[in-house]
Structure 1
Amino acid sequence: MSAREKRIPELAEEAVKKARTRTLQSGRNVVEAVDGELVETRPDGSRKVIRPLASPILVAPGQKLIRRRK
């Protein structure tokens, strides 16, 4: 893996943080996962829980999962 490829997660995290900040500064709400809940964050800093989230599924690198239809 090249040095540039290794920086992708770091750059992605920074881009998401900047996008979140810009969105809130423009007066719009942001929907995000916080502590196992789906939360709507408003520009004034208040938060509204939309619903709880399912437990995360741990996946090892290279592991493949097949999603079953309900």
Structure 2
Amino acid sequence: MSEQDIQTLESQFPAMSGPAFAAARQRVLASGQSVLQAEGGRLVREFPDGRKEVVKTIEPPVPVKLGAILTIR
């Protein structure tokens, strides 16, 4: 696989990831399990019956420039 092939595949990832995550979320809820998701600065557990429970408040997302390297402590 060439570098160009890899770059082409990587460029397709953002467009493909949204629908893939949405489908996985629906499968989890349909199986009777809950999902965790970020909503408005909070971590929320959503149950199959639609009920939501706030787990904790979270920090806002960090804007990242393309190609930046972040160190996680």
Same fold (TM over 0.5): yes
Judging by fraction of residues, say which structure has more helix: 2
Distance in 2 (alpha carbons) for counterparts of 1:38 and 1:60: 24
TM-score, normalisation: structure 1: 0.82
1:18 is matched with 23
1:37 is matched with 42
Pairwise CA distance, 1:66: 2.9
Q: How has the CA–CA distance of structure 1 residues 11 and 44 changed in structure 2, closer, same or farther, with 3 Å as cutoff?
A: same
Distance in 1 (alpha carbons) for counterparts of 2:44 and 2:21: 16
The CA RMSD measured in Å over matched residues stands at 1.5
User: Which blocks of at least 5 consecutive residues in structure 2 are unaligned?
Assistant: 1-6
Pairwise CA distance, 1:9: 0.9
Distance in 2 (alpha carbons) for counterparts of 1:23 and 1:56: 25
Distance in 2 (alpha carbons) for counterparts of 1:66 and 1:8: 23
User: Which blocks of at least 5 consecutive residues in structure 1 are unaligned?
Assistant: none
Pairwise CA distance, 1:6: 2.9
Residues matched between the structures, number: 67
Q: Percent identity?
A: 34
Distance in 2 (alpha carbons) for counterparts of 1:9 and 1:28: 26
Distance in 2 (alpha carbons) for counterparts of 1:48 and 1:57: 24
Runs of 4 or more off by more than 3 Å in structure 1?
Answer: none
TM-score, normalisation: structure 2: 0.79
